[in-house]
Amino acid sequence: MHADIIGGGLAGCEAAYALARQGIRVTIWEMRPDKQTPVHQGGDLAELVCSNSLKSEHSDTAQGLLKAEMTILGSLLLPCAQATRVPAGSALAVDRSRFSRMVTEQIEAHPLITVRREEITTIPQAPCIICTGPLTSAPLAKALQEISGAENLYFYDAVAPTVTRVSLDESIVYKASRYGKGSADYYNCPMTREEYLCFYEQLVAADALEPHAADREMVFEGCMPIEFIAQRGVDTLRFGPMRPVGLSPVEGGPRPYAVVQLRQEDKEGQLWGLVGFQTRLRWGEQDRVLRLIPGLKNAEFVRYGVMHRNTYINSPRCLSPDLQFTTRPGLFIAGQLTGVEGYMESAASGLWAGLCLARWMQGKKPLELPETTMLGALIKHISSAANAKFQPMNANFGLLPALPGKIKDKKQRNLAYMTRSLKHMHEFSELLQNTL
Ligand SMILES: Cc1cc2nc3c(=O)[nH]c(=O)nc-3n(C[C@H](O)[C@H](O)[C@H](O)COP(=O)(O)OP(=O)(O)OC[C@H]3O[C@@H](n4cnc5c(N)ncnc54)[C@H](O)[C@@H]3O)c2cc1C
């Protein structure tokens, strides 16, 4: 048995290793070093293109929990990261080049894995996993567009910040429709004139990120950063995304001068995105300025806004929960291409795609991860999100189904999530080994 993996990045290496551990021969096709992306610099596999941090290791954080689950499933990358770590407090940060070198050596030394340095420009025959990442080369992106439909492949992220519903101040925010049309589906954060002006001044003065090399050519296509809109004049936001049109005042209260609306992002209604608030502000600045919005003072931001070059497919429309293309049996997609966001999320999705493809090749029935695990919740989100415009997602506790009882203390709540997730991941790992 043999499978092809296209892209030797974080997802590709985990996928190849997972397949090889099942006794399946694998060829990884990687276009570097002959052809580079705008941000990769070397020829090693699993190159970290920007930060050297793989984020927290504490399993009472979403990132730490994801790592603990990956360890249970047999990750290749995590032991390499631990062996090449550099001091970074509670974060798992690595010496970038030693990390990639070590992953490359382990992959190249594996008797069942071959690495071919070649760009792939068409969709290969099954069985195959495509994981060419946010900077997938143009010919392959075009081929992906052809099989998924032009409207189902995106070339940039314009993500607005997301908060959890439990962290909203419900004595201030209230449900209503958008512009007075349809049902009361939006949470509204109403602002007085004074609150609006204070927010506006802080927004225009806040520090934004310089675009990365890969982002300079990015076209906003009518999706402008909120701080850009604000720079055009004090009232532009009030006549744009913060327009209070059709919004009745709360009983007895003043008519809102401006409003920030929140739209539901997941089926369970735990995650809410700030409508029209795509931004390039630095995360610390987002955290500071957005808390000035009435009702968001104590908000839990599970994701900050980002705007950058990316390539990802509309996974809820195109993929099943085993990351298999619904219209192409044996073709799997992994990594950032699926709409997961971040180094570890990409690696974890590669690990999952590798395990699923192995089962498919062995004629075993597909399994679904428990949605109570961080990886299961993430995969469920990307393969079934209800949002009209699917947006990439990182690991966060807001994705997990609510716990049976309400736990007010955040740390205790996260610990309870962690205990449940790890128990279910251990059970799942046994099931994975024992089922046909
Ligand atoms: C500018 C930028 C900065 C980022 N910074 C961060 C950060 O700081 N932290 C974070 O968590 N995430 C960051 N990300 C996201 C990060 O890229 C992903 O989280 C992660 O690298 C994705 O893993 P992947 O395996 O899907 O893709 P990659 O790791 O990018 O791997 C894809 C591989 O496929 C190869 N490839 C592409 N096309 C072809 C082809 N046609 N044929 C053969 N090979 C091909 C590429 O050369 C590459 O090696 C950043 C992304 C970008 C674009």
Closest CA to 138 of 122, 118, 151, 150: 122
Would you say residue 213 has pLDDT above 80?
Answer: no
> Residue 218 pLDDT more than 80?
no
11 lines ligand 1 (CB under 6 A): yes
Q: Are 351 and 361 in contact (CB under 8 A)?
A: no
Q: What is the pLDDT of residue 39?
A: 87
Report the Cα 230 to chain-centroid distance in Å: 27
Let me know: does 392 contact 309? Beta carbons within 8 Å.
no
| Cα 337 to ligand 1 centroid, rounded to whole Å | 9
Going by pLDDT thresholds of 50, 70 and 90, the confidence category of residue 323 is very high
Ligand 1 atom with the shortest distance to the CA of 55: 11
pLDDT confidence tier of residue 377, bands split at 50, 70 and 90: very high
> 161-179 pLDDT, tens per residue?
999 999 999 999 999 877 6
Residue 360 clears pLDDT 60, i.e. is over it: yes
Residue among 39, 49, 66 whose CB has most ligand 1 atoms within 8 A, to mutate: 49
What tokens appear for 102 in the block? Answer: 């070590």
Q: Which CATH class is domain 162-304?
A: mainly beta
336 pocket-lining for ligand 1 (C-beta < 6 Å): yes
Q: Give the CA-trace dihedral at 302, 304, 308, 312, to 10 degrees.
A: 20
Q: What is the percentage of the chain residues whose pLDDT exceeds 70?
A: 95
Q: How far is the CA of 46 from the centre of ligand 1 (A)?
A: 8
Q: Which CATH superfamily is domain 2-156+308-434 in?
A: FAD/NAD(P)-binding domain (3.50.50.60)
Burial letters for 171-200: b for 16+ Cβ neighbours within 10 Å, e otherwise?
ebbbebebeeeeeeebbbbbbeeebbeebb
Which residue CA neighbors atom 13 of ligand 1 most closely?
Answer: 342
d(CA 111, CA 12): 17
- Phi and psi of 307, rounded to 5°? -140, 110
pLDDT at 297 over 70: yes
- Please report the pLDDT score of residue 51 as a whole number: 85
The whole-number pLDDT of residue 265 equals: 82
DSSP H helical ranges for 305-409: 315-318, 343-361, 374-384
pLDDT, tens only, 401-428: 999 888 888 889 999 999 999 999 999 9
Q: How far apart are CA 352 and CA 334, in angstroms?
A: 8
pLDDT for 407 equals 86
CB 352 within 8 A of CB 233: no
First to last CA, the chain: 17
| pLDDT at position 219 over 60 | no
Q: Which residue has the tokens 């909120």?
A: 226
Residues 6+ apart with CB under 8 A from 293: 189, 191, 199, 260, 274
For residue 31 and ligand 1, the question of a CB distance below 6 A is answered with yes
Using 50, 70 and 90 to split pLDDT, how confident is the model at 387?
low
Question: In terms of Cα–Cα distance, which of 122, 131, 80 is closest to 103?
Answer: 80
Which ranges in the chain are annotated with CATH 3.50.50.60? 2-156+308-434
- pTM of the prediction? 0.86
Q: Between these two residues, 434 and 414, which has the higher pLDDT value?
A: 414
- For the record, the structure tokens of 417 come out as 């999530």
Q: Which atom of ligand 1 is nearest to the CA of 137?
A: 38
**DSSP letters along 142-163, please?**
HHHHHHH-GGGEEEEEEEPPEE
Atom number of ligand 1 nearest to Cα 9: 31
Ligand 1: distance of its center to the CA of 4 in Å? 18
Task: Report whether pLDDT(251) > 80.
Answer: no
pLDDT in the model for residue 258: 95
Span 116-143, pLDDT tens digits: 999 999 999 999 999 999 999 999 999 9
β-strands 306-313, 331-333 pairing: unpaired
Centre of ligand 1 to C-alpha 134, Å, is 5
Domain with CATH 2.40.30 in the chain: 162-304
**Distance between CA atoms of 64 and 228, rounded to whole angstroms?**
35
Residue 217's pLDDT band, with cuts at 50, 70 and 90, is low
Decide whether any atom of ligand 1 lies within 6 Å of the 115 Cβ.
no
Distance separating alpha carbons of residues 63 and 341, to the nearest angstrom: 12
